Chains A and B, each alone.
Chain A
């Protein structure tokens, strides 16, 4: 079932990656792209605190792991512990291929773990595939 306009929250401390991700998804036109630059900002967005009072509720979250202040794993755990937030699919998007990180992410109920490709093409392609699946194929809570 197609989601008319999918809202994605992209959490990453790397501005370059945020830009690239936005570019990758701009083409399809089916995604409304929101960003947070670290874990604290992400939680503020999700809980609509302070500056994010009017933030919308995202349909899907992409989450980097290595971030200052609050890391991705902590954010993941907080989201999955929250009765309301836990229904939002969280996709870990990290350059780490370490088995430990994988294990911890899935153990904390991450919906999927995607390794950030190191090439530009790979990065763009992965973003598009993610969008394709979650926006066009999967059904998420509106």
Chain B
């Protein structure tokens, strides 16, 4: 398949997820991806924000190109994190894909209202889950043109 863009640097993905199993599966799936990428993990809302603001032990991290965000996480909730990201001019253009088990309409509406870029309900079935991750990868890392990053200091 014709992939329009080859990114010069690996796509940086921030996975905000507290379920160890899901973390492993997601990371593995992305590892096999056609597009060069790197996954980083934050296990709760506070960690996620620390990562994004490069503080408290996350001083040398990169700015993620895309964020996969579970709503159901400890400390700050996924929606709180989403709100913070989408209200910060420096972070708001990073695409945030909600990847969560909740199918509740309320959660979906609130997320889109908070400018989540997409909302995905995690399949229970493993094979489906992997397929979903693959589709996310195909779409967000390949078809979609991600926002231009501010120049990275080497």
Distance between Cα atoms of A86 and B116 in the complex (Å): 11
In chain A, positions 113-142 with a C-beta closer than 8 Å to chain B are: 113-115, 117, 119, 121-122, 125-126, 129-130, 132-134, 136-141
In the complex, the answer to whether B1 meets A125 with C-beta atoms within 8 Å is yes
Task: For B145, list chain A residues within 8 Å (CB).
Answer: 97, 102, 113-115
Q: In this assembly, does B108 line the interface, its C-beta being within 8 Å of a C-beta of chain A?
A: yes
> Do B115 and A109 touch across chains, with their CB atoms under 8 A apart?
yes
Interface: A99 (CB within 8 A): yes
Number of interface residues of A (CB under 8 A): 36
Contact A87 B144 (CB under 8 A): no
Residues in B whose Cβ lies below 8 Å from that of A113: 144-147
Q: Is A89 part of the binding interface, using a Cβ–Cβ cutoff of 8 Å?
A: yes
Confirm or deny: A69 has a beta carbon within 8 angstroms of a beta carbon on chain B: no
Q: Is the CB of B147 within 8 A of A133?
A: no
Closest to A136 in B: B135
Question: Known interface pairs A102-B147, A102-B148, A113-B144. Does A133 touch B139 (Cβ–Cβ under 8 Å)?
Answer: yes
Count of CB-CB pairs between chains A and B under 8 Å: 96
Interface-lining segment among B26-34, B55-63, B118-126: B118-126
* Residue of B105, B136, B143 touching A130 (CB-CB under 8 A): B143
Question: Which residue from A80, A83, A102, A134 sits with its C-beta under 8 Å from B115?
Answer: A80
A139 near B135: Cβ-Cβ < 8 Å: no
Which residues of A43-70 are within 8 A (CB) of B? none
Q: Which residues on B sit within 8 Å (CB–CB) of A136?
A: 135
Q: What total of chain B residues lie within 8 Å of the partner, measured CB to CB?
A: 33
**Which residue in chain B gives the minimum CB-CB distance to A119?**
B2
Q: Taking the nearest CB of chain A, how far is it from the CB of B127, in angstroms? A: 14
Q: Are B135 and A137 in contact (CB under 8 A)?
A: yes
Could you tell me the distance in whole angstroms from the C-beta of B145 to the nearest C-beta in chain A? Answer: 5
Whether the Cβ atoms of B103 and A139 lie closer than 8 Å is yes
A52 to B47, CA, bound (A): 47
What residue of chain A has the Cβ atom nearest to residue B120's Cβ? A138
Chain A residue numbers with a CB within 8 Å of B115 are 80, 86, 109
Q: Is there a chain A Cβ closer than 8 Å to B21's Cβ?
A: no
Q: Is the CB of B119 within 8 A of A133?
A: no
Ranked 6 nearest A-B pairs via Cβ: A106-B93, A87-B112, A106-B147, A133-B139, A99-B148, A111-B117
For this complex, 22 residue pairs linking A to B, each with C-beta atoms less than 8 Å apart, are A87-B109, A88-B112, A89-B112, A102-B147, A103-B93, A106-B95, A107-B92, A107-B93, A109-B115, A112-B117, A113-B146, A114-B143, A119-B2, A133-B138, A133-B139, A133-B143, A137-B135, A137-B136, A137-B139, A138-B120, A140-B112, A141-B105
